[in-house]
């Protein structure tokens, strides 16, 4: 299940990163996924070495406490984390986000809330925290970390429910630190060099309310999911950050047009793809805020009503082929939907919690929070530059 090769190249990457020459190190760590090689060579390498192959999917399998890479048939070719009953530092607890950075994997250990019905093995009523952002190699070595395992805080090297991480082209990491109501930009030597959100929960200047994502845009601004304020906002990336675009009410009590923005990305051409979790609705809006495409994840009769909350999809990303990849959280599935709103691929099974260590084409996921296609950064921050 887990691909293994010589440690040599990955240890060299780790040493270079920790030695402070991050950009050169990450360039050395790039694989076929990030290079512009002949497609036939990509196919050949995918057959020879399934890890990080173009066409594979990376899934943050939230309450199975793992990140998995699967091929298009759902076969697990790589995994980090020890399963739903393991809450040790060797798992990634309640993982909400993962992305590939060359051959490395960046992931957010969000933690599991107390009393989470999908995670009965977390028996502490206060929850099972993680509070780390990790960068790991193919052989499961942690080569960089921000945050201290099990420690909740906002001091140096501390986080409170990190829900999303974005590797920036300058080799900094943008972290959505939800419990601290802030977005922070962190260097590899763990210095905070930019932030948005003053730590207070609110909807006035420089305030956020349970933010859930942040992406650096090609224009240099930052797109933020201000989830509990029911809005996506675009802010300037400077010391006096200001909001220059907003979609949604900005009021925690007003859920029209969106109810809980779980994710947002700026597509080529200027439209914005928004995950409207509370309405189980994915929408694409143009710069004038007109909805030009949408998809509901709760129309199947087997969809999870979950005591009125519905499936609460958490991530929708547009793919280069025009499809949309949706992490349909409490329906326990990841679906790929084409422009005509037809499901063309599924991982997991609708409204069925599972844990499978070999294949997830027919089930085996538990509340997947995020999914991405290897090497496809459509609408997302590309780690090696726009």
Check whether 188 has a pLDDT greater than 90.
yes
Check whether 21 has a pLDDT greater than 70.
no
Q: Which residue has the higher pLDDT, 313 or 6?
A: 313
- pLDDT per residue as tens digits for the range 231-258: 999 999 999 999 999 999 999 999 999 9
Check whether 314 has a pLDDT greater than 80.
yes
Q: Which residues of 27-52 are buried (b: 16+ CB within 10 A; e: fewer)?
A: eebbbbbbeeeeeeebeebbeeebbb
- In angstroms, the CA 9 to CA 28 distance is 9
**pLDDT over 90 percentage in the chain:** 86
Q: Which residue has the higher pLDDT, 21 or 201?
A: 201
Query: 17 pLDDT band (50/70/90 cuts)?
Result: low
> What pLDDT, on the 0 to 100 scale, is given for residue 24?
47
- In angstroms, the CA 18 to CA 354 distance is 37
Q: Which DSSP string corresponds to 89-124?
A: TTS-TT--EEEEETTEEEEEE--B-TT-TT-TT---
Name the phi and psi angles at 218, rounded to 5: -65, -25
- pLDDT per residue as tens digits for the range 47-61: 445 999 999 999 999
Residue at token pair 């030009």: 292
- pLDDT per residue as tens digits for the range 25-80: 554 555 444 443 333 333 333 344 599 999 999 999 999 999 999 999 999 999 99
Residue at token pair 């440690």: 7
Residue ranges per domain, the chain?
8-373
Query: 386 pLDDT band (50/70/90 cuts)?
Result: confident
Check whether 184 has a pLDDT greater than 90.
yes
**pLDDT over 70 percentage in the chain:** 87
Taking residues 380-384, what's their average pLDDT?
97
- pLDDT per residue as tens digits for the range 100-125: 999 999 999 999 999 999 999 999 99
> What pLDDT, on the 0 to 100 scale, is given for residue 5?
40
Taking residues 262-285, what's their average pLDDT?
98
Superfamily of domain 8-373: TolB, C-terminal domain (2.120.10.30)
> What pLDDT, on the 0 to 100 scale, is given for residue 154?
96
> What pLDDT, on the 0 to 100 scale, is given for residue 46?
37
Strand order in the sheet with 315-318: 315-318, 324-328, 333-337, 343-348
Looking at every residue in the chain, the average pLDDT score rounds to: 90
> What pLDDT, on the 0 to 100 scale, is given for residue 77?
98
Check whether 296 has a pLDDT greater than 60.
yes
β-pair type (343-348, 333-337): antiparallel
> What pLDDT, on the 0 to 100 scale, is given for residue 334?
98
Q: Which residue has the higher pLDDT, 34 or 310?
A: 310
DSSP H/E element including 213: strand 211-216
């Amino acid at each position: 299940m887990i691909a293994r090769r010589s440690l040599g190249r990955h240890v060299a990457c780790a040493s270079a990163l920790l030695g402070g020459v991050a950009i050169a190190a990450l360039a050395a760590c790039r694989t076929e996924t990030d290079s512009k090689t002949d497609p036939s060579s990509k196919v050949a390498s995918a057959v020879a070495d399934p890890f990080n192959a173009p066409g594979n999917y990376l899934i943050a399998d939230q309450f199975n406490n793992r990140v998995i890479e699967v091929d298009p048939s759902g076969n697990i070719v790589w995994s980090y984390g020890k399963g739903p009953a393991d809450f040790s530092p060797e798992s990634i607890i309640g993982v909400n986000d993962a992305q590939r950075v060359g051959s490395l994997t960046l992931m957010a250990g969000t933690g599991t809330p107390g009393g989470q019905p999908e995670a009965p093995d977390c028996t502490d009523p206060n929850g099972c925290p993680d509070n780390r952002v990790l960068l790991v190699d193919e052989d499961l070595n942690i080569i960089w970390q921000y945050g201290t395992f099990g420690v909740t805080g906002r001091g140096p090297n501390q986080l409170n429910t990190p829900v999303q991480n974005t590797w920036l082209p300058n080799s900094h990491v943008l972290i959505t630190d939800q419990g601290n109501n802030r977005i922070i930009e962190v260097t590899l030597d763990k210095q905070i060099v930019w932030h948005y959100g003053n730590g207070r929960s609110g909807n006035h200047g420089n305030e956020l309310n349970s933010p859930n994502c942040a992406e650096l845009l090609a224009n240099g601004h930052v797109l933020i999911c201000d989830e509990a304020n029911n809005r996506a906002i675009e802010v300037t990336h400077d010391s006096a950050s200001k909001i220059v675009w907003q979609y949604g009410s900005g009021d925690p009590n007003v859920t029209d047009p969106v109810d809980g923005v779980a994710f947002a990305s700026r597509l080529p051409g200027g439209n914005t793809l928004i995950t409207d979790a509370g309405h189980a609705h994915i929408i694409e809006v143009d710069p004038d805020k007109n909805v030009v495409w949408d998809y509901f994840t709760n129309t199947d009769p087997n969809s999870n009503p979950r005591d009125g909350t519905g499936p609460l999809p958490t991530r929708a990303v547009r793919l280069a082929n025009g499809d949309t990849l949706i992490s349909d959280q409490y329906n326990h599935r990841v679906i790929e939907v084409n422009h005509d709103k037809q499901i063309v691929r599924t991982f997991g099974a609708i409204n069925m919690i599972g844990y499978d260590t070999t294949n997830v084409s027919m089930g085996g996921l538990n509340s997947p929070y995020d999914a991405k296609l290897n090497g496809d950064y459509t609408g997302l921050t590309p780690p090696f530059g726009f």
